[in-house]
Amino acid sequence: MATRSDEGIDSLRALPLFSEVGEEDLRQLASHLIERRFPRDATLIQEGQAGDYMYVLREGRVKVTKISGAGREKILEILGAGSFFGEMALLDPPERSASVKSLDPVRVLALSRLGFLHALERSPGLAMAVIRELSRRLRHTNTDASHIPYQSVKERTKELLRRLATEVNDADGWCLSPALTHQEVADMVATSRETVTRAVKQLKQDGWLRQEGKRYRIRPEE
């Protein structure tokens, strides 16, 4: 169901995407946001279709996927609360470049093409936040493209978990990843679930990783 969002300006400003948007611009933008909820395993965006909305993720996680040449689903990224997606088809129409599916029940704020493009024109702070995130994603894609053929699954799993583990424990500096199944890690590092299970076991034996339910604690860099 879609309803007009009643998110306050302060809670929107806490998001990296909106942190540098001026007061009046943010107020206008907020009036265009529409709240939508999806259950787990819903397809929010389908690769190849036309797109009219971009989304800010408020609760839950989504995976960004593409079907590879071999017909396998490759997870390009897992995005958590505070991230945004669906901007590419609005900036570079018409087609959605990938699919986006919910890994949990999710709550999103949707912004129409017109609302997004107007807000970008009015607010350099918003434009900078979008460019910064697109650069981060391109950097990651470049790293993947240059490393995957040469790195072992263990190295690729380490790199992935290092990137995704952003919550830092102040006491010992170990970082906590979001919840991930071995199959999800396998779909991100382009290998089988069994190979990831072996790599995770080795990383635990190396003392580099501890498992906490479906989440991983990662040893800080020396």
Binding site for ligand CMP (CB under 6 A): 45, 51, 64, 76-77, 85-89, 96-98, 100, 137, 141
Tell me the closest approach of the beta carbon of residue 153 to ligand CMP, in angstroms: 20
CB of 133 to ligand CMP, least distance (A): 9
d(C-alpha 60, C-alpha 86), whole Å: 16
- Round to whole Å and give the CA distance between 81 and 62: 9
Q: How far is residue 18's CA from residue 26's CA, in Å, rounded to a whole number? A: 7
Query: In which residue are the tokens 């929010």 written?
Result: 44
Instruction: Phi first, then psi: give them for residue 7, nearest 5 degrees.
Output: -60, 135
CA–CA separation, 160 vs 154, rounded Å?
Answer: 10
Nearer to ligand CMP, 27 or 147 (CB): 147
- CB of 107 within 8 A of CB of 59? yes
DSSP state, residue 17: G
Q: Which is nearer to ligand CMP, 107 or 163 (CB)?
A: 163
* Smaller CB separation from ligand CMP, 55 or 216: 55
CB of 94 to ligand CMP, least distance (A): 10
Choice between 135 and 192, CB closer to ligand CMP: 135
CB of 137 to ligand CMP, least distance (A): 4
Q: Is 100 helix (H, G, I), strand (E, B) or coil?
A: strand
Cβ proximity of 99 and 45 under 8 Å: yes
Both structure tokens of 82: 């505070």
In the complex, the smallest distance separating the C-beta of residue 174 from ligand CMP, rounded to whole angstroms, is 26
**Helix %, strand %, coil % of the chain (to 5):** 40, 25, 35
Q: Which is nearer to ligand CMP, 21 or 51 (CB)?
A: 51
Q: Considering the complex, what minimum distance in angstroms separates the CB of residue 140 from ligand CMP? A: 7
Angle at 84 between CA 58 and CA 174, to 5 degrees: 75
User: Taking the complex as a whole, how short is the minimal distance between the CB of residue 86 and ligand CMP, in angstroms?
Assistant: 4
Q: Which is nearer to ligand CMP, 56 or 200 (CB)?
A: 56
When the beta carbons of 75 and 186 are compared against ligand CMP, the nearer one is: 75
> Rounded to whole angstroms, how far apart are CA atoms 192 and 196?
7
